[in-house]
């Protein structure tokens, strides 16, 4: 007898995970870090605010898969308009994570976010899970 195929069994519904209060993220200011599991690996991620909108990315440079902050939670360059990797200076758009200059090999991996009632959430996705303790 054939087994029933359970569609989407390995793709749970996306979940919104509370990250921080909205006022913890200032325009072009420090990031709020968080842990994720991406493709089965534990990774750091970060959320920033730019021109009023919250954005989040894996903390992993596309040049060499290293964390990018040059001081803890500092990702913006001195202009406050680009995210910069401390190691070799790759720069990325804070809005999209797209490579803007330097030795990037593609863009940053973006994480969906939402903001409601003064709270920022990040959203799980197919390859992006919450860390289960």
Enumerate binding residues for ligand FES (CB under 6 A). Answer: 61, 63-64, 66, 68, 85, 87-90, 102-103
Indicate the residue among 52 and 72 with the shorter CB distance to ligand FES.
72
Q: Which is nearer to ligand FES, 83 or 120 (CB)?
A: 83
We find the least distance from the C-beta atom of residue 85 to ligand FES, in angstroms, to be: 3
Q: How many residues does the chain have?
A: 133
**Distance of closest approach, residue 104 Cβ to ligand FES, in angstroms:** 7
- Which CB sits closer to ligand FES, 32 or 85? 85
Smallest separation, CB 105 to ligand FES (Å): 9
Instruction: Please say which residue, 62 or 113, places its beta carbon nearer to ligand FES.
Output: 62
| Shortest CB 103 distance to ligand FES, Å | 5
Q: What is the rounded end-to-end Cα distance, in angstroms, of the chain?
A: 39
């Amino acid at each position: 007898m054939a087994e029933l195929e359970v569609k989407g069994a390995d793709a749970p519904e996306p979940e919104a995970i509370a990250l921080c209060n909205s006022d913890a993220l200032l325009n072009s200011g420090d990031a709020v870090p968080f842990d994720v599991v991406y493709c089965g690996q534990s990774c750091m991620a970060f959320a920033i605010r730019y021109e009023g909108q919250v954005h989040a990315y894996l903390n992993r440079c596309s040049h060499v898969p290293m964390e990018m902050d040059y001081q803890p939670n500092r990702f913006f360059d001195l202009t406050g308009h680009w995210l910069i990797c401390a190691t070799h200076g790759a720069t990325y758009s804070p809005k999209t994570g797209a490579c803007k200059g330097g030795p990037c090999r593609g863009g940053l991996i973006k994480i969906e976010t939402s903001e409601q009632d003064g709270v920022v959430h990040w959203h799980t996705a197919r390859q992006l899970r919450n860390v289960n303790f």
